Structure 1
Amino acid sequence: MKSVTASVAETLTQDLALRIMRGELQPGMSIPGENELAVQYNVSRTSVRNALQVLGAKGMLTIQAKRRSTVAPREQWSFLDADVLSWLEEIGIDDALIEQLMITRLIFEPNAAAMAAINANGRDLADLEDAWEIMSQGQQQDSADLFKQGDLAFHTAILKAGHNPFLFSVGNALSAAMLFSFKRTLEPDVTLTLEAVDAHRELMECIRLKQPEQARQQMRHILLSAAKKHLGDPLPDRLEHFLSAS
């Protein structure tokens, strides 16, 4: 069970983060000191200090000894952090950021799928099949939670199947963004995701048959299809390279 101090600090952290994201606290602006924030929010200085340290670690504040913390530029935020993504979702994330997320996935995941096709062993294939079964159950039962659980497990299994510790570490860093992406591109009626389930099955077969180029192209197809659901068809010009590569 979380302590009261931790809960207060988390609430304060979120409120300050949302004020930054909404533009109420602009980049370069000094925020009030610990004493002032403690009075303003009716909390202890310890809670304030904890909140500021968390936001500093997430790249949203620049903290210097004996000086007031300042709001960091947006490009310094830790966009792969689960809390940052959750806060962005709360204020309403724009299509431009979703587009950048899909570009990031398109740069990384097709090659990870090719690596999986080269290196996957029997255990890896079993993990992929288990994850795909969960996705399929989610589709059949119209369960968004089940579908997202299987989708994340499937893509995580692909990263593990590459047997490259560096790629897997990058994948772990991307996992929160991947889950966020799944939520943004999932059909409102999960029973309509049969095409996506079939596409993942085809990718699994490419990996099983050790076909790296086919796996790369199939993963690209899956990601572009997901992007079209949110960003529309045709896709934005910045995704043109990935369309021509498919």
Structure 2
Amino acid sequence: MNKLTSSISESITRDLALRIIRGELGVGMSIPGENELAQQYDASRTSVRNALQVLGAKGMLLIQAKRRSTVTPREQWSYLDAEVLSWLEDVGIESELVEQLMLTRLIFEPDVAAMAAINANGHDLAAIEDALDTMQSGQQNGSAAEFERGDLAFHTAVLRACHNPFLASVGNALSAAMLLSFKQTLEEDLRLTQEAVQQHRDLLQAIRMKQPDTARQCMRHILVSAAHKHIWREIPEKYQHFL
């Protein structure tokens, strides 16, 4: 597939995805066939077919031989796919989805921090500290992009410090979702992130001192603080046992 065909295919993929997310193409609805879509987008059948295959691979379409593709229920979508998350963000992330993302992080990341405190070596500690420096620089310079970059690097470095290939694979899948989570919980006024920077510094110290229980609590505190400010005024009772 040449670059032009690839670009056209990507444009069709995105447009169809956004129409599905908005509900213009509803669950169970058969979408137009390749010929009709090719005319609609003034594109080749090859570009259309590639777009449909991509959406099928991401769980957004059910593709069956000699039958029109149909829109699948949302629970079948690949929510840890970076493109799917980007499309959702373009349309507007629903509050319920942000809540479920934070809950996923609460289930996963505190124990990751504890494991990092047990297994981190000097190289890992340097990577975590470098990421913290980037966060602090972003906070001081009022740069949301720099702060987000440091935040993601920090949590990724903590994950790598576990030295567990299975956790690393899960973390790689979660990385796009974590970045989306950071964007949803980042303060508009970066001067207000000073507390968050200190919380991350406390976590680094717990990992450096090989204190897994403290590291677990520090990570939980980071997540709960963000959730309190931007998602839950009070943590729902049904989620209390994750705290």
Question: Is 1:124–2:115 an aligned residue pair?
Answer: no
1:97 maps to 97
**How many residues are matched?**
242
Unaligned runs of 5+ in 2: none
* CA-CA distance at 1:238 after TM superposition: 4.0
Within 5 A, what are the aligned runs for 1:74-93? 74-93=74-93
Cα contact 1:141–1:191 (8 A) shared by 2: no
1:168 maps to 168
1:73 maps to 73
Write the distance in 2 (CA, Å) between the matches of 1:82 and 1:61.
Answer: 17
- Aligned residues with identical type, % of pairs: 69
2:188 maps to 188
1:144 maps to 144
Within 5 A, what are the aligned runs for 1:227-238? 227-238=227-238
2:179 maps to 179
1:55 maps to 55
1:64 maps to 64
* CA-CA distance at 1:241 after TM superposition: 2.4
Tell me the amino acid that sits aligned with residue 220 of structure 1: R
Question: Is the partner of 2:214 in helix, strand or coil?
Answer: helix
> CA 1:62 to 1:31, structure 2 compared with 1: closer, same or farther past 3 Å?
same
Tell me the amino acid that sits aligned with residue 67 of structure 1: R
2:216 maps to 216
Question: Is the deviation greater in 230-239 or in 44-53?
Answer: 230-239
* CA-CA distance at 1:68 after TM superposition: 1.1
> CA 1:94 to 1:237, structure 2 compared with 1: closer, same or farther past 3 Å?
farther
Tell me the amino acid that sits aligned with residue 98 of structure 1: V
TM-score normalised by the chain length of structure 2: 0.97
Write the distance in 2 (CA, Å) between the matches of 1:55 and 1:152.
Answer: 27
* CA-CA distance at 1:237 after TM superposition: 3.8
* Offset from partner CA, 1:48-92 (integer Å, 9 cap, x none): 001001101111001111211111110000001111111111111
* CA-CA distance at 1:42 after TM superposition: 1.1
Write the distance in 1 (CA, Å) between the matches of 2:190 and 2:49.
Answer: 43
Tell me the amino acid that sits aligned with residue 24 of structure 1: E
Write the distance in 1 (CA, Å) between the matches of 2:166 and 2:69.
Answer: 34
C-alpha RMSD over aligned residues: 1.1
1:158 maps to 158
Tell me the amino acid that sits aligned with residue 91 of structure 1: V
Question: Is the deviation greater in 105-114 or in 232-241?
Answer: 232-241
1:134 maps to 134
Write the distance in 2 (CA, Å) between the matches of 1:92 and 1:239.
Answer: 25
Write the distance in 1 (CA, Å) between the matches of 2:5 and 2:34.
Answer: 15
Unaligned runs of 5+ in 1: none
